[in-house]
Amino acid sequence: MFAVRTALRTQTSVASRGYATAAKAQSLKERLAELIPKEIENVKAVRAAHGHKSFGEVTVDQAYGGMRGIKGMIWEGSVLDSEEGIRFRGMTIPECQAALPTAEGGSEPLPEALFWLLVTGEVPTQEQVKGLSAEWAARATLPKFVEELIDRCPNTLHPMSQFSLAVTALNHDSAFAKAYAEGTHKRDYWKTTYEDSMDLLAKLPVVAARIYQNVYGNGKVAAIDPSKDWSANFATMLGYGDNASFVELMRLYMTLHSDHEGGNVSAHTGHLVGSALSDPFLSYAAALNGLAGPLHGLANQEVLRWIQKMQSQIGEDATDAQVEEYCWETLKTGVIPGYGHAVLRKTDPRYTSQREFALKHIPDDKLFKLVAQVYKIAPNVLLKAGKAKNPWPNVDSHSGVLLNAYGFSQQNYYTVLFGVSRALGVTAQLIWDRALGMPLERPKSFSTEAIKKMFADKA
């Protein structure tokens, strides 16, 4: 799709061609309105040139094996390479850290900037990012009944279930659902999908913080400060706004967990449900239910539990031999959480950047040291055990220990943070799904009997 470039440069060149003026920073919606017609033509040309070509065969094993590696989906925001990890619109995580605008005095990219990149393929200007922060702050208010709905949930209901429930309920005010019911033309679907996506992104931290304060705090959520960025407001609502290093962690966390191409359970679910023209709230609530599974986002909460259990069993200064034995013990009854991946075959760069953050901000934290020790040992154990295709750590392997170092120790809540972030990637794609007129998704399935018949006369 689009090559990465800075919006500033693009605006200048666009202006020099006599179109939009560069006098004021464009909003994301204005920029999208310019990009969409060109991209529709681009996709038409790609389909005309390559539409009839095959880009891979499918084996019966793949159908039984969770559809691993089957090529059957378009996802614009990011591509995952099994060796080098994720690239957002062609940019690696270190490249994003170097190029995307940061907060004043901060050094981590702002998730608002990443969202702009995911949607447009362009690195935004500081001013455009500020515009997004302000817009999300302005859209953050929750309908009263959604607040009440969250407040009525028992503390014993998992935070992810509360989260999904509240996001479903936000569909009450969906601009897309309303426009659809009024018979809006298909070519304009993206506009209300965009509005809903912006509302969703704006409200998610408020929903998430309300759940957090109800379950673990005093039930009170601080007001949104319109002069602050998305992550700073979220950190404030969680009660950590005064800790500049935690606020930076939130910016990094929200950026890293945003998108991991299209086939992972949460992204794929959001896209699939969206293909039925369910609005972004319904689509994303479905995605959250997938994220809540232990093999996906919930691993996030499992890792800290596992590390803490190890620490309590073998003490603070574990030897390598003790850690190794603990890993082998774990394998007798389950998986080593935070290790392995369905696509990646190397250390997840999202693990690496969290490790770098830890080295900079919490180098002496005991659990961080244990995580680093596990990194030396667990891959060899998994290799010797011989089952996992990837013995290296994934994103979840580090996040819990970082949060815990700041006293943010409520593991059951960790997947909610992941859920706030993943909306950036899912909504960016939903907007393009509507802009490009993506159809209802409907792959073909077969029964085991049908497969037997299909190959009955073949060797």
Q: For binding to ligand COA (CB under 6 A), which residues are involved? A: 295, 299, 331, 335-342, 382, 387-390, 394-396
Residue nearest to ligand COA (CB): 340
Burial class (CB in 10 A: 0-12, 13-18, 19+), 19: exposed
Cβ atoms of residues 408 and 359 within 8 Å: no
CB of 84 to ligand COA, least distance (A): 16
The least CB distance from residue 83 to ligand COA, in Å, is: 15
Active site (annotated) includes residue 396: yes
Cβ neighbors of 15 (< 8 A, separation 6 or more) are: 21, 22
Q: 380 by DSSP, 3-state: which?
A: helix
Which of 296, 348, 398, 433 is the catalytic position?
296
- In 212-285 the beta strands, taken as DSSP E runs, fall at none
Amino acid at 113: A
Residue with Cβ nearer ligand COA (120 or 404): 404
Q: How far is the CB of 18 from ligand COA (least distance, A)?
A: 48
Say how many CA atoms lie within 13 Å of 341 toward its Cβ: 26
Catalytic residue among 259, 341, 348, 398: 341
Tokens of 86: 């994720």
Nearest to 166 by CA among 424, 420, 431, 438: 420
For ligand COA, the closer of residues 89 and 398 by Cβ is 398
Contact 71, 81 (CB under 8 A): no
Give min distance, CB of 370 to ligand COA, in A. 17
- Rounded to the nearest whole angstrom, what is the least distance from the CB of residue 252 to ligand COA in the complex? 17
Residue 106 has which token pair?
Answer: 């901060």
Active-site hit among 268, 396, 398, 433: 396
CB count within 10 Å of CB 354 equals 25
C-beta of 164 vs 397, nearer to ligand COA: 397
Q: Which is nearer to ligand COA, 103 or 403 (CB)?
A: 403
99: number of Cβ within 10 Å: 14
Min CB(65)–ligand COA separation in Å? 8
**Residue 164 near residue 285, CB atoms below 8 Å:** yes
What percent of the residues of the chain are helix, what percent strand, and what percent coil, each to the nearest 5?
60, 5, 35
What is the Cα–Cα distance from 277 to 258, expressed in whole angstroms?
A: 22
CB of 367 to ligand COA, least distance (A): 17
Q: Identify the burial level of 230 via C-beta atoms within 10 angstroms of its C-beta, where 0-12 means exposed, 13-18 middle and 19 or more buried.
A: buried
* CA 399 – CA 303 distance, rounded (Å): 9
Residue closer to ligand COA, measured from CB, 246 or 351: 351
Among residues 138 and 295, whose Cβ is nearest to ligand COA?
A: 295
Say whether 268 is catalytic.
no
52 is catalytic: no
The burial of 232, by beta-carbon neighbours within 10 Å (0-12 exposed, 13-18 middle, 19 or more buried), is given as buried
Of 35 and 395, the one with the shorter C-beta distance to ligand COA is 395
Question: What are the catalytic residues?
Answer: 296, 341, 396
